[in-house]
Structure 1
């Protein structure tokens, strides 16, 4: 049954007066009237005069403590007068549990850190299960509204084709570049020992990798060095695309970018330049310059191997933070065979959209919006990522904040993510809010990560060149999902086969024809329609 929420708008405020929040489980037939708003403080803390309770469903990562005992939520309850009754699930079962709740109508007032996809935002927003937030943001979310005004890409990215906003997203501060882009890391001491300069072209990159394989840079007399390693080949290909004139507007739209000459959208996996990248990667793999297990290795196994210092180059977050390996520096942006030298492996400032959703069961949507908006402020971002003075962080003489020894040298032997998660929830990456460099001390905030990013900045796409992920109508999304369920699997399979040598490049034309048979033309037509709407916003 389609669920509807009946809204009355008065002076820009969303008001429900004697209205049933009805439908299949929607609101449970509860009545809400204007007296609810009498309990709301329009600004400042606490958010409400008399304590209220909201029920929320959230995804959490393995290290997170019981949220009912978590200092973040306990202290925030004291500030706001809002008690959150959390039901949390581990992220590996999040999608299944979330979908069951929504399909069965047994969903709570708030969905938090649940990474709801666009298809569901459009579907459940259209049905009235997820309430429109436009007017609520205008009146009750000054911090988030300012970010939308300052960075139009945010508003464009979260506005669905029907004109409504149904969720709050993760925002990466556009000035915090090391959290939005990353280039591979290389082991400087090995290059120095072998008398090698930093590579500046793909051919030089090949030469350096070959010298690492053959030159015994660790000096143990064994050929145990692995020139390049990662979990999967995607990060290397994304890095190389900018050297071959691809991903001209960043990575947010996956396989689609714009031809700089024709100004028309193009499908990267069918482009001749993409074939050249695969041929180059095939050469590296065929000569043993890429970890032979790159297509199958799991994160835990890769982390263990990288922690032994066997890789010359790695594509991952800061090796010092993740692998406890010092001496790695950022790899230069390579100048490709056609003269392209761009760092296009960069995401939009807009992260996952569906990280905070208010459902039609919520009796206090205004208070819920105020509750979240705090975390888009500097004060809220500091509390969310750094925690509490003299407990999880300390103030330095220069005014900066750093984690306490309890976090960075945990007496129980916990790593940083695990120690932080005894108090806070950000490790793992699922949350609504804004990630700012001065308050984020994870791997991307390390000085070496920032230095790595600065090294690539002269060649990095400008903010005005970077697109957010496009939004689609419900009908477009349904059709696109059907097409790409087969198309994307085929692309990934053939990518790995071409690189590993399991499929010869003489099959390239057949590969392209198969994609066309899978509905590539219609796929691109849907993207064209979405792109046109994006331009008109």
Structure 2
């Protein structure tokens, strides 16, 4: 799975629940207490009427069935969540029915989410909604979003334990007003393949035909692509081989930036890192070395060493073309999972023209905000947060990612859980994400939970992805920043200032690469950024950074 554009896409990638159904009804009281972490902590200590309707221990969570209305973002090809096995079985366990009042494709999510908030016609909770920090602090401050601090302390022992274990994650989801308005997607820090999401993959068969080794430098990378372009691998007498392909240019830029020493604090912050000359925070797209990166990619584009439709192609077309074996290298997750092509290996971190060898495309353990947001219309906040907390625990994580034994997975002789063949090698040609989505909801990302290598078997967890990441790990940044949060006032400034700067840099990035704007205009580009308020933009980030350090 592409952790979502996440990193791609995400990256990036991932989440949580157990194995159960029929076996749930047969559990003893002792087993129920063991399966629900609240049982092992304390009886809910709340005077609210809703909390009084909860069982103090075990499953089901509620003594009598309740309904919680939720808004959800999801991949457009995903099964209707009202019919999804995961949610049906979890309802049986908990006595909590989720009414998915809105299931919005990710492509339309921001527009629909903003409209729902603006007109005030929002439900009790937002799930997998990618709620941005700007909305969290704004609507949280206004009281439309509930403060979760005490609810987490009292009813979410799994999440509380993770916050204690990974204090940077708690710091990142805590807004400047000291409140937590959302629960995050957390990647186990040791699951580095997921934290790197999409990678550059090389067609080893093509390398062998060319008689060359995998590239070590940016010059090697260029020469490899050039040789791929000049070789008629399919022997059809046409120059139709594509040396490099991806959906969009961001994956390639993320891979190359580290070879010029850029992105030295990872990718969670985006276009800001630390100036190595001690000048404080740096805006990467205005740095002279970033100009060199764009010049390098412009050369690849001009010489048709990367797909000509890289700025316009969509994921479905990319998958269709990739499945024909026409690509010499690609950006994404394990090609055996996505384009169903064997023989690709991960590309190593390249050494650049100034001697830098850094792999910058790494996130912090917190990869997504907005996994779950409770609104002031929620009549059962204690039950809702406890419903969610199960996904942060061992059993919940297993069910959320792996599903149900004998249906979606089996246990191998060595004890490992593996998806059934209908998911791994679907006879109808469905890739893993598509096959899993008939039962589970994690493909597409945005969920609340913890992603571990033990249970996450998306493309980032494949053996090939793990091996590719091992090559890159020695070159990770020594310090990786999580998201920074802004005050209401800072968000107001960023709403116009930051948006204009980010849109302008993205537009000019494409124009420089395609040659629509010559590099002789670079100084004018930087000058315009400064006039747009780049100094103030960095000042806002610096204030957030100072809070983060404290």
Per the normalisation by structure 2, the TM-score is 0.89
1:47-446 correspondence runs (5 A): 47-91=61-105, 92-181=107-196, 182-262=198-278, 264-410=280-426, 412-446=428-462
Q: Which has the higher contact order (CA 8 A, sep 6+)?
A: 2
Q: Which residue is equivalent to 2:483?
A: 469
Q: CA shift at 1:388, angstroms?
A: 0.5
Q: Is the 8 A contact 1:228 1:312 kept in 2?
A: yes
Number of residue pairs matched by the alignment: 507
Q: CA shift at 1:525, angstroms?
A: 0.7
Structure 1 window deviating more from structure 2 (480-489 vs 388-397): it is 480-489
The CA distance in 1 between the partners of 2:43 and 2:347, in whole Å, is: 51
The CA distance in 2 between the partners of 1:12 and 1:100, in whole Å, is: 39
The CA distance in 2 between the partners of 1:343 and 1:237, in whole Å, is: 11
Q: Alignment partner for residue 486 of structure 1, among 500, 503, 507?
A: 500
Q: Is the 8 A contact 2:369 2:446 kept in 1?
A: no
* Alpha-carbon RMSD: 1.8
Q: Is the 8 A contact 1:14 1:135 kept in 2?
A: no
Q: CA shift at 1:263, angstroms?
A: 5.8
What is the DSSP-based 3-state SS (H/G/I as helix, E as strand, rest coil) of the residue aligned with 2:127?
Answer: strand
What is the DSSP-based 3-state SS (H/G/I as helix, E as strand, rest coil) of the residue aligned with 1:384?
Answer: helix
1:18-33 correspondence runs (5 A): none
What is the DSSP-based 3-state SS (H/G/I as helix, E as strand, rest coil) of the residue aligned with 1:397?
Answer: coil
Is there any run of 5+ residues in structure 1 with no aligned partner, and where? 1-10, 16-32
Is there any run of 5+ residues in structure 2 with no aligned partner, and where? 1-41
What is the DSSP-based 3-state SS (H/G/I as helix, E as strand, rest coil) of the residue aligned with 1:292?
Answer: coil
Cα separation, partners in 2 of 1:292 and 1:127, compared to 1, 3 Å: same
Q: Which residue is equivalent to 1:499?
A: 513
- Deviation above 4 Å: which 4+ runs of structure 1? 11-15
Q: Is the 8 A contact 1:63 1:417 kept in 2?
A: no
Q: Is the 8 A contact 1:239 1:345 kept in 2?
A: yes
Deviation string 1:409-433 (CA, Å, 9 cap, x unpaired) is: 4455543323222211111113111
Q: CA shift at 1:63, angstroms?
A: 2.8
Cα separation, partners in 2 of 1:302 and 1:407, compared to 1, 3 Å: closer
Q: CA shift at 1:311, angstroms?
A: 1.5
What is the DSSP-based 3-state SS (H/G/I as helix, E as strand, rest coil) of the residue aligned with 2:128?
Answer: strand
Q: Is the 8 A contact 2:185 2:367 kept in 1?
A: yes
1:508-523 correspondence runs (5 A): 508-523=522-537
Q: CA shift at 1:104, angstroms?
A: 2.2
What is the DSSP-based 3-state SS (H/G/I as helix, E as strand, rest coil) of the residue aligned with 1:137?
Answer: helix
What is the DSSP-based 3-state SS (H/G/I as helix, E as strand, rest coil) of the residue aligned with 1:85?
Answer: strand
Deviation string 1:126-174 (CA, Å, 9 cap, x unpaired) is: 0111110111111111111111111112111100000000001111221
Q: Is the 8 A contact 1:190 1:218 kept in 2?
A: no
Q: CA shift at 1:12, angstroms?
A: 12
Deviation string 1:88-131 (CA, Å, 9 cap, x unpaired) is: 32323333332232222222211111111111101110011111
The CA distance in 1 between the partners of 2:44 and 2:63, in whole Å, is: 19
Cα separation, partners in 2 of 1:127 and 1:199, compared to 1, 3 Å: same
Q: CA shift at 1:437, angstroms?
A: 1.2
The CA distance in 2 between the partners of 1:98 and 1:226, in whole Å, is: 38
Q: Which residue is equivalent to 1:534?
A: 548
Per the normalisation by structure 1, the TM-score is 0.91
Q: Which residue is equivalent to 1:4?
A: none
Q: CA shift at 1:254, angstroms?
A: 1.0
The CA distance in 2 between the partners of 1:500 and 1:14, in whole Å, is: 61
What is the DSSP-based 3-state SS (H/G/I as helix, E as strand, rest coil) of the residue aligned with 1:311?
Answer: coil
The CA distance in 1 between the partners of 2:97 and 2:429, in whole Å, is: 32
Cα separation, partners in 2 of 1:280 and 1:66, compared to 1, 3 Å: closer
Cα separation, partners in 2 of 1:204 and 1:412, compared to 1, 3 Å: closer
